[in-house]
Amino acid sequence: MTILRRPSVAISLSVLGVLALAAILAPVLPLADPLRGDLMRSLEGPSAQHLLGTDTLGRDVLSRMVYATRVSLVVAAGAVLVALLIGAVLGMLAGYFGGKFDSVISFITDAYLAFPPILLAIAVLGAMGRGTVNTVGAIAFIFVPRFIRVARGAVVARRGEVYIDAAHVIGASTSWIIRKHVLPNIAAPIIVQAALAAGFAMLAEASLSFLGLGVQAPAASWGSMLGDASQQIYRQPLLMIWPGLAIAVCVFCFNLIGEAMRDAMRA
């Protein structure tokens, strides 16, 4: 856990921590109602009353940003979690049991990667319909093959190890072996992959919401706010700076953490 001492990681974790905290505490914080807008005061710049200005419908941008933090973080984290669970299990089983099952899974994974991810997510949303929950599913769908690959790779690398055979010999059940020996070994690479994927998941959700396909009104994520802001680029250019900045900072932090973990694992 020495990587926690690295300044880049420490700062990233703090930033993410603050954002998460803001997200959780949103209802308790002294913010304006994110859903109520004063149409007389739409598209204003920053002022004492509205620190980040107002949007098209006169709603306070700052409070919308804080509430959007919830959506953006939850969707990204949720998608990664779902993808992780499905991918890790499939990958692990494929790596451990090998054979036909493995060949099929590997083959599907390779084919998967021929699809442009965003397009795939768009197609999935097209078929299933838009909305926050479907977005989590669509994004998870994109990331599953990455987790399968990582988990399978980690298991295959250790498949020949002596302690697995030894466990068999003493009559341990397959599930016990998997629990005790295989899982701990794939935990590290999976976690690294999760950190790296989190950033991309956030970008993916932002992209989809930006296009109007992901999170739908009245709920807002940074991506959808950016999408709204892009419509107002001539009338209130400042609007698009905040959500974009938030996304960039978050993704950057995730990437720093992921890369630091990956370097630590390699050492």
Partner 1 sequence: MLQTLLRRLVRLVPTLILVSVATFSLTYLVPGDPAITLAGDAPTPERIAEIRADLGLHRPVITQYFDWVGGVVTGDFGHSIYGGADTVTDLIVQKLPVDISLAIGGLLVALLAGVPLGILAAVRRGSIVDRVVTAFTSVSVALPSYWIALLLVLLFAVNLRWLPASGYTPPTEDPVAWARGLVLPSIAIGLAMTAEIARQLRTALVDVLDQQYVRTARAKGLRGWVVIGKHAMKNAAITPLTILGLQIASILGGAVIIEQIFGLPGLGQLAIEAVLQRDIPVIQGVVMTAVLVVVVCNLLVDLSYIWLNPRARR
Positions touching partner 1 (CB under 8 A) are 107-108, 110-111, 113-120, 122-129, 199, 203, 206-207, 210-213, 226, 229-230, 233-234, 237, 240, 244, 247-249, 251-252, 255-256
Residue pointed to by tokens 């991918």: 87
Task: Pick the closer one to partner 1 by CB: 33 or 110.
Answer: 110
Task: Pick the closer one to partner 1 by CB: 98 or 212.
Answer: 212
Q: Is the dihedral of CA 179, 181, 184, 185 positive or negative?
A: negative
Q: At closest approach, how far in Å is the CB of 237 from partner 1?
A: 5
**Cβ contact 241:220 at 8 Å:** no
What distance in Å separates the CA atoms of residue 173 and residue 184, rounded to the nearest whole number?
17
How many CB atoms lie under 10 A from the CB of residue 45?
Answer: 13
Q: At closest approach, how far in Å is the CB of 246 from partner 1?
A: 10
Task: Pick the closer one to partner 1 by CB: 113 or 187.
Answer: 113
Task: Pick the closer one to partner 1 by CB: 166 or 245.
Answer: 245
Q: At closest approach, how far in Å is the CB of 44 from partner 1?
A: 18
What secondary structure letter does DSSP report for 182? I
Q: At closest approach, how far in Å is the CB of 164 from partner 1?
A: 31
Task: Pick the closer one to partner 1 by CB: 120 or 183.
Answer: 120
Q: At closest approach, how far in Å is the CB of 248 from partner 1?
A: 5
Task: Pick the closer one to partner 1 by CB: 31 or 52.
Answer: 52
Residue pointed to by tokens 């990664």: 80
Task: Pick the closer one to partner 1 by CB: 11 or 233.
Answer: 233
Rounded to the nearest 10°, the torsion over CA 140, 146, 152, 158 is -120
Q: Is 199 exposed, middle or buried (0-12, 13-18, 19+ CB in 10 A)?
A: buried
Rounded to the nearest 10°, the torsion over CA 220, 117, 266, 103 is 130
Q: At closest approach, how far in Å is the CB of 176 from partner 1?
A: 35
Q: At closest approach, how far in Å is the CB of 202 from partner 1?
A: 9
What distance in Å separates the CA atoms of residue 119 and residue 176, rounded to the nearest whole number?
40
Tell me which residue of 127, 124, 153, 128 sits closest to 141, measured CA to CA.
Answer: 124
What distance in Å separates the CA atoms of residue 236 and residue 233, rounded to the nearest whole number?
6
